[in-house]
Structure 1
Amino acid sequence: MQVNQLLKSLVLVPFIGLVSFSGFSQDLDPYLQELISKGLNKSQTVKINDINEEQAALDQRLAKSTFIPKVTLNGSFTRLNDDLTFDQETQELLMSTQKLLIKEAVGLPFNMPFPEGIELRDAPNLQDKNILKSSVDVDWVLFSGMEATNAIKASKHKASSLNYLGLAEKDKIAIQIITAYDQLALVNASEKVLVTSEEYLMEQDNFVKKAIQNGLATPIGRKKVELAQQQLEGKKLDFQHNKILLIEQLHQLTGEDKERLKLMTPKLQMSGISNKSELEKRNEIKALEAAEQATLYKSKMEKSNFIPKVALKGHYEFLDEGLSLLDPKWYVGVGVKWNIFDGNQSRIKAKKTELESLKYRERIEEAEEMIALSVINAQLNYESKIQSLKIVEKEVELAQDTYDMVNKQYKSNLASINDVLDALTALEKTNFKYQEAVFNQRKANTELLHAKGVLNY
């Protein structure tokens, strides 16, 4: 293959014509998608947001547990300084009553003396001094006055808000990885341009050597070619350093092995255009809307403090010995708690939360305006980069034709070596400019997809 054909095959990418901007797609190769997945799994920010989302989900479960019966087992031992008994007069009254009952049972008139030989029982203690108790309590909220219900909804929307924030953060990380990946592709493409320029210089060097041998050129011409070769080596070194830095950046973003990153060969090609045109709501807006709903339900929860609450209470004693004469074996009851006035605390808290929701509403409107502007800006920028790419493609063609013409003139002694090197430098610059134009077009496409909320990875 001739050198000119080689150059064109390396640097000229078939141009996709500027068509109607009905929709866009992001061309991601499988390895880039793998890097993005690894980057999302590695990101500490994403992990922290996932933990926050999990905490919000636990808050929701905690609010739901309000309606689950609570069962408590109790056990205790108490020793008093003495038994608790009736006072002396009450004990005498109980003994006299016992005698009357016995007389009535044996048929003696109440005014007859109490018969001998019959034992009387002492009055039982009100409470023995050794108290051993074992019981179970059941507490069951039947109606929380909508407080728990609103708390469940508030925590649900909070979890949703955190989820959307996490998706927005993932978009940012994906864009960073895509940009670094495309920059590495730009470095690789630029290195190919330098290789082609090097081949051109080698061709010129060989030609000058033969011309010197035939007395058709001076050694100065050869020195100029050698200087151009050294300058080219310096550029290759710069690009190699840039490649090392980009691999390090991708390693930090994704955790991917550096040796594997060095082996990848990303290609810099113009992003495709698809038929997807719908403008979707950005995750940032969804997060703010969910946060607004969470604060509204939180306000309702605080207002519901004045609604009566209904709960069931149950108690059962396992041991009879430790009970006093007044303690029940078991009981079940339903109670109502109605907070009539709490010093305006609930009303003030609810008002404060309502103001917080108003702040979210203002943020939503501000974000919507900024996103609408960013979509227009990204659209115009994308169209500009497409047009710039089209112009640069023509510049490459012109620079290529110019170099071919000057090179032929030089070989026919109609142009100097300086003219050839200048034409080669111009060709090299336009080739670099073309690769940068492709990179800028891909970056503009990514920004437009992100602005429209349709960035997929």
Structure 2
Amino acid sequence: MQINTSRLSILLIAFAWFVPSLSIAQQLDPVLKNLINKGLDKSHSINIKNFDKEQATIDQKMAKSVFLPKVTFNGSYTRLDDDITFDNDTQNLLLATQKLLIKEAAGIPFNSAFPQGIPLKPAPNLQNKDILKSSMDVDWILFSGFEASNALKASKHKEASINYLAMAEKDKIAINIIETYDKLALVYASKRVLQTSENYLKQQEHYVRKAIENGLATPIGRKKIELAQQQLAGKMLEYNQNKKLLIEVLHQLTNESKEKLTLLDPQLQPFTNDSMTKSEKRNEIKALEEGEKATLYKSKMEKSNFIPKLAIKGHYEFLEDDLSLLDPKWYVAAGIKWNVFDGNQSKLKSKKSIIESQKYGEQIEDANEMIALSVIKAELTYESSLQNTEMIQKEIELANDTYQMIDKQYRNNLTSIKEVLDALNDLEKANFKLQESYYNQRRAVTNLLYAKGALNY
């Protein structure tokens, strides 16, 4: 059965090189895809980025709301120490004027005495000491000097930058989950080698014990077997620890229950790649470019502080009784605000934003250089992994042919069981090396696609 498995592995990888290439998303194990989706949903860093995006969206709404009228309702009660009235001379003048108007209306000559018994109205107070007011104010900005429009554009580019950062974070999380899943598959593959070694040592122990009984071996041979068994026990302990650790890591990354993760049976199959020549702009670069644009619009926003702003204001008093003689019941006004000099604050802020955009430019150049280097490194690693896989295939073929030959000799009593077990052990180790090669090849393909911005999952 083991021989058939090794031959099947050889046929599968050979077949994979001749069939049309598929994207990595189509080649992922459905269980692994599910883990990646859960990891993306669970990720705290992505959730934080989503909150940042919501804040940027709110900033856009705030920039738009600048042009909405602001309506304020006001209410107040004030008590003065006394009524505010005219001075005595003004009050006497008002009373005298009132008498003249009454005499003129009654047809009484100007120089005649004022008739007795006709009541006079006292001069009204300028302001009563008890003041109760209820009013409404409307403030409406009609033109903000492009400050609001530039703020809106800056926040849009900021949102786009955060979105690309979130996508880049998703790529890193997906790569981490894929790598951890593959490590778990490699650990499970190593168990098969350990089991073969365990069976091999049991057979050897039986062989040595019989040899000692027949005087064909010394107790030193048995001690060597015991030492090998102790070493195997240490490897089994390492296997269990690695398995437990990787399941814990997957649990932390995906929030999947440990019970379900323990039941997983991951298998390593080589990735084929149809994106070797395709290269897309990385999300990290897109995020930096959007950040650069956001800072440029922020600089324009700060410069627009010197452009005149136009607004209108309206005021309406609901209560008239306590208004002073000089207070209007309502009014509408239009005004212009022109900031001519603010102590160079806006100029310095704008210059600071420009420097920030220049920093983004340097980061973009640095990132492009690092990405170009990572692409070359990933391509070389991928080529090496293919070469290594091909070499191990030859090694498996040799180990398989050797096992077949020795097994045939054993069946014809031409060799010992020890030679058969040694050959079988070599075949299992070669198969495990093929699994390691698959693991390295999957790493190389994943890293290459990530470096070229073509990773899909």
TM-score by length of 2: 0.90
Tell me what 2:248 maps to: 248
What's the offset of the Cα at 1:218?
6.1
Check whether the contact 1:10–1:193 (CA below 8 A) recurs between aligned residues.
no
Residue in 2 that maps onto 1:25:
24
- Deviation string 1:151-174 (CA, Å, 9 cap, x unpaired) is 111111111111111111111111
1:151 corresponds to: 151
Shift of residue 197, structure 1, vs aligned partner: 5.1
Distance 2:345 2:356 in 1: 17
TM-superposed deviation, 1:202: 6.5
Q: CA, structure 1 residues 400+234, in 2 after alignment: closer, same or farther (shift >3 Å)?
A: farther
Deviations 1:215-267 (A, max 9, x none): 89769799577876665554344322211111011011111100000011111
Show the 5 A alignment for 1:16-55. 16=15, 18=17, 25-26=24-25, 27-55=27-55
Residue 24 of structure 2 aligns to a residue in which SS? coil
SS of residue matched to 2:132: strand
* Mapped pair 1:426 → 2:426: yes
Q: Tell me which residue corresponds to 1:128.
A: 128
Q: Which residue of 2 aligns with 1:85?
A: 85
* Displacement of 1:13: 4.6
Conserved 8 A contact 2:200-2:421: no
User: Quick one: structure 1 residues 442 and 396, their matched pair in 2 at CA, closer, same or farther if it must change by over 3 Å?
Assistant: same
Residues in 2 aligned to 1:78 and 1:10: alpha-carbon distance in whole angstroms: 93
Further displaced range: 445-454 or 28-37: 28-37
SS of match in other structure, 1:123: coil
1:203-226: CA deviation from partner (whole Å, max 9, x where unpaired): 7778x5999799897697995778
Task: State the partner residue of 1:445.
Answer: 445
**Percentage of identical aligned residues:** 60
| Cα distance change of structure 1 residues 428 and 129 upon mapping to structure 2, 3 Å threshold | same
Look up the SS of the partner of 1:314 in the other structure. Answer: strand
Work out whether 1:303 is the aligned partner of 2:294: no
Equivalent pair of 1:317/1:329 in contact (CA under 8 Å): yes
Question: Take 2:199 and 2:418, find their aligned partners in 1: how far apart are those partners?
Answer: 17
What secondary structure, in the 3-state scheme, does the structure 1 residue paired with 2:14 have? coil
How far apart, CA to CA, are the structure 2 residues paired with 1:357 and 1:237? 54
User: CA 1:155/1:276 → structure 2, altered by over 3 Å: closer, same or farther?
Assistant: same
* Alignment check: 8 A CA contact 2:63 2:149 kept: yes
Distance 2:230 2:407 in 1: 21
Change (3 A) 1:35 1:24: closer
Structure 1 distance, partners of 2:212, 2:365, is 77
TM-score, with structure 1 as normaliser = 0.90
Aligned residue type for 1:447 = N
Change (3 A) 1:371 1:24: farther
Q: CA RMSD in A?
A: 3.1
Aligned-partner SS, 1:15 = helix
Shift of 1:277: 4.6
Q: Which moved more, 1:141-150 or 1:111-120?
A: 111-120
CA drift at 1:351: 1.1
Q: Confirm or deny: 8 A CA contact 1:221 1:417 kept in the other structure.
A: no
Residue deviations 1:106-150 (CA, integer Å, cap 9, x gap): 111111111122111011000001000000000111100001111
How many angstroms does 1:456 deviate by? 1.4
Describe the shift of the 1:225–1:81 C-alpha distance in structure 2 as closer, same or farther (beyond 3 A).
Answer: closer
Q: Secondary structure at the match of 2:133?
A: strand
Q: Tell whether the 8 Å contact from 1:22 to 1:275 is kept in structure 2 after alignment.
A: no
Matches for 1:394-409 after TM superposition, within 5 Å: 394-409=394-409
**How many residues were matched structurally?**
455
Q: Which runs of 5+ in 1 are unaligned?
A: none
Paired letter, 2:14: F
Determine if the alignment matches structure 1 residue 327 to structure 2 residue 350: no
Counterparts of 1:185-224 in structure 2, within 5 Å, are 185-196=185-196, 208=207, 223=222
Aligned partners of 1:99 and 1:114 also within 8 Å: yes
Higher mean displacement: 327-336 or 50-59: 50-59
Aligned equivalents of 2:199, 2:400: Cα separation in 1: 14
Q: List aligned pairs for 1:36-435, cutoff 5 A.
A: 36-196=36-196, 208=207, 223=222, 232-274=232-274, 277-409=277-409, 422-435=422-435
Separation in structure 2 between the aligned mates of residue 199 and residue 159 of structure 1, nearest angstrom: 61
Distance in 2 (CA, whole Å) between partners of 1:373 and 1:24 is: 23
Give the whole-Å Cα distance in 1 for the aligned partners of 2:349 and 2:212: 96
- The SS at the match of 1:256 is coil
Deviation at 1:432, TM superposition (A): 2.2
Rounded to whole Å, the distance in 1 between the matches of 2:427 and 2:251 is 34
Mapped partners of 2:165, 2:232: distance in 1: 47
| Corresponding residue of 1:456 | 456
Tell me how far apart the structure 2 counterparts of residues 400 and 204 of structure 1 sit (CA, whole Å). 21
Deviations 1:373-408 (A, max 9, x none): 211221221121111111111111112222333455
Q: Which has the higher mean CA deviation after the structures are superposed, 28-37 or 326-335?
A: 28-37
How far apart, CA to CA, are the structure 2 residues paired with 1:211 and 1:407?
Answer: 22
Q: Tell me if the contact between 2:193 and 2:429 (Cα under 8 Å) persists in the aligned partners.
A: no
CA distance in 2, matches of 1:216, 1:426: 29
Shift of 1:15: 2.8
Question: For residues 96 and 360 of structure 1, what CA distance do their matches in structure 2 show?
Answer: 80
Equivalents in 1 of 2:89, 2:369: separation in Å?
Answer: 89
